[in-house]
Amino acid sequence: MSDSVSDCTDETESRSALTEAEVEALVRGICFKTGPPRTVGVEVEWIVHELRAPQLPVTPERLETAYAALRTVPLSSPLTVEPGGQLELSSPPAASLMECVNTVSADLAAVRTALGEQGLALSGNGTDPWRTPRRFLREPRYDAMEACLDRTGPAGRAMMCTSASVQVCLDAGHDEPGPLGHGRRWWLAHTLGAVLVAAFANSPLLAGAPTGWRSTRQLLWMEIGAGRAGGPVLDGDPRTAWARHVLDAPVMCLRRESGPWEVPDRLTFRQWTRTGAPTRDDLDYHLTTLFPPVRPRGHLELRMIDAQPGDDGWIVPLAVTTALFDDPEAAEIVYRAVKPLAERAQPLPAPHNPLWIDAARYGLTDPELHEAAVTCFTTALRALPRLGATEAVTDTVRDYLERYVRRGRTPADDQLDRLRGTDTRAYGKDLRS
């Protein structure tokens, strides 16, 4: 949901019109910045709720006051606000896993302290389990986004205003074959991605009711549609596939200096280059309006993981994913472990294929995904010390493996267990109060 300019083009102030061929060349040349994997980052989103009564809505006025106070807190990570009032911390690129963990942990501690003084707290849920969508930010971008997404149903508003995630950012990899090559990492992100959806599913509720999905957040992205929230077909060179996808994706909006932004109907960026005069600025902006499960922004942004419970729950997907991608031995093992899953994904790209749908619906109750997840977590545990992970981090991952993965459970099951142990009439009354 970031409103920041994409990393995928240079000279963003350029106003010269682009041809179709120039768009393809720009996207091919810059969206995959290859080289040895050296940096890691994470973006953690949180739902903000009342400390003493999390089921109650936080008024816009209280959010405004709290966020004004947060702007005075010194942080190493940029802090942004999402359309529904969710908070997002985006770490700077870190030279190691532990540098990333330490930076974000310190920032989160400062954010929690500041919010606590306002009587508010952070909640790690993939979807808001209590409230219906309500937009906090009133800006032309989000007005246009809402109008665009409304065409495909209510999923867009729910995604904008009630969802939260842990997004892991990794270097694209070497420009050569092998476990750390960018082609392998691109394929792995889309195949292992389904295992990550299943293993970290934590959004079984929407507006207080079970949806029948372990990851309702992933369901919302699927319902938004393949053009806006889908990935490209994995048929060859990643650069070619992504450039084609960018060109054929629908344009969300045409920006204006004043007044509402225009929301075209079924205009692809390819058609715009043939009938209009989009600039490099327009291409930059177009790239920020595409939300595939794996987004190349020079690095790879893995967007499929639900927000996790607990103060440090976000560390587990960060550590596991980094270990499986950046340790060569682990990357080779996990490649072999998830390769059989690829047959279930054919022929559709993620997340609109049977593999990803089953991962979101069933979590680790799916036998094949469960088996793959156990292999992935045990492999990550062996690799983490080689990446310099502390004992505290490896213990956190091990606890998750034993509490959830080996048992075929996810945090979504905890939410459902709590709901089943609550009188449904009282629960509904609390939501309406």
pLDDT in tens, the chain (433 residues): 444 444 554 444 467 899 999 999 999 988 999 999 999 999 999 999 999 999 888 999 999 999 999 999 999 999 999 999 999 999 999 999 999 999 999 999 999 999 999 999 999 999 999 999 999 999 999 999 999 999 999 999 999 999 999 999 999 999 988 999 999 999 999 999 999 999 999 999 998 999 999 999 999 999 999 999 999 999 889 999 999 999 999 999 999 999 999 999 999 999 999 999 999 999 999 999 999 999 999 999 999 999 999 999 999 999 999 999 999 999 999 999 999 999 999 889 999 999 999 999 999 999 999 999 999 999 999 999 999 999 999 999 999 999 999 999 999 999 999 999 853 333 333 222 2
The pair of three-digit structure tokens given for residue 160, joined into one six-digit string: 């904008």
The pair of three-digit structure tokens given for residue 164, joined into one six-digit string: 């939260």
Whether residue 341 contacts residue 369, with contact meaning beta carbons closer than 8 Å, is answered with yes
Largest CA distance in the chain: 62
How far is 73 from 236, CA to CA, in rounded Å? 46
Say whether 390 sits in a helix, a strand or coil: coil
Taking CA 137 as the corner, what is the angle to CA 133 and CA 142, rounded to the nearest 5 degrees?
85
Size (the chain), residues: 433
Report the candidate in 68, 185, 48, 18 with the shortest Cα–Cα distance to residue 119: 48
How far is 80 from 89, CA to CA, in rounded Å? 7
Taking CA 17 as the corner, what is the angle to CA 16 and CA 22, rounded to the nearest 5 degrees?
105
Q: What are phi and psi of 322, to 5 degrees?
A: -60, -45
Where do we find the tokens 């450039």? 243
List CB contacts of 129: < 8 A, sequence separation 6 or more.
203, 205, 206, 208, 415
How far is 228 from 349, CA to CA, in rounded Å? 13
Bridge-partner residues for 262, per DSSP? 254
> Residue 423 CB: number of other CB atoms within 10 A?
8
Q: How far apart are the two ends of the chain, measured CA to CA in Å?
A: 30
What angle do the packed helices 238-248 and 20-30 form, to 10 degrees? 140
Burial of 369 (C-beta count, 10 Å sphere; 0-12/13-18/19+): buried
Say whether 351 sits in a helix, a strand or coil: coil
How far is 356 from 350, CA to CA, in rounded Å? 7
pTM for this one?
Answer: 0.94
- pLDDT on residue 300: 98
Whether residue 46 contacts residue 123, with contact meaning beta carbons closer than 8 Å, is answered with yes
How far is 30 from 292, CA to CA, in rounded Å? 18
Tell me which long-range contacts 63-72 makes (C-beta under 8 A, separation of at least 24): 63/136, 65/118, 66/114, 66/115, 66/118, 66/120, 69/114, 69/117, 69/118, 70/111, 70/114, 70/115
How far is 400 from 98, CA to CA, in rounded Å? 18
Whether residue 305 contacts residue 189, with contact meaning beta carbons closer than 8 Å, is answered with no
Beta strand residue intervals within 31-107, DSSP E: 40-50, 79-81, 87-90
Q: Is the dihedral of CA 352, 353, 357, 363 positive or negative?
A: negative
408 CB-side CA count, 13 A: 8
Bridge-partner residues for 48, per DSSP? 122
Say whether 40 sits in a helix, a strand or coil: strand
